[in-house]
Amino acid sequence: MTQDVAATVRRFYALTTDPDATEDDLAALLDADVRIVEHPNLVTPLGAERDRSQTLAGRRAGREVMARQAFEVHDVLVDGEHAAVRATWRGTVGVARGPLAAGTELTAQVAAHVTVRDGRIRSLETFDCYAPVG
């Protein structure tokens, strides 16, 4: 089970930023009742809580704003159906958004708690710490 949970988590992070992945690819990894919490950060200053459809819509919106982005997953520590994740996210803003000009390079250190049930993401709570911009 540990390997299955870790593999699901790694696949989720890969699909969220893979330009060739389809929305259906990501949807297949999300539980119908998934709950994703993003704590306030540089890109989402007020934070957000999303269900499955909002998560897929957020992925579409991110693709419109970001010229490129990628996750490097460093650690996935598994305990039953729960995983603690440490990753680095890097992205380049493609379209100006708020104080972020097109071409701005962003880096965030990510810590997340993920619950996986039956091979699907059931919940994810992420804490993104962005490096200073400029």
d(CA 76, CA 125): 14
Top CATH class of 2-130 equals alpha beta
pLDDT for residue 2 is more than 70:
no
d(CA 62, CA 60): 5
Q: pLDDT tens for residues 57-115?
A: 988 888 888 999 999 999 999 999 999 999 999 999 999 988 889 999 999 999 999 99
Residue 1 binned pLDDT confidence (cut-offs 50, 70, 90): low
The neighbour count for residue 123, using CB atoms within 10 Å, is 17
Instruction: State the distance between the two ends of the chain, measured CA to CA, in whole angstroms.
Output: 43
d(CA 128, CA 134): 18
Provide the whole-model pTM.
0.92
Q: Work out the angle at residue 54's Cα, subtended by the Cα atoms of residues 52 and 55, and round it to the nearest 5 degrees.
A: 65
Q: What is the pLDDT of residue 60?
A: 85
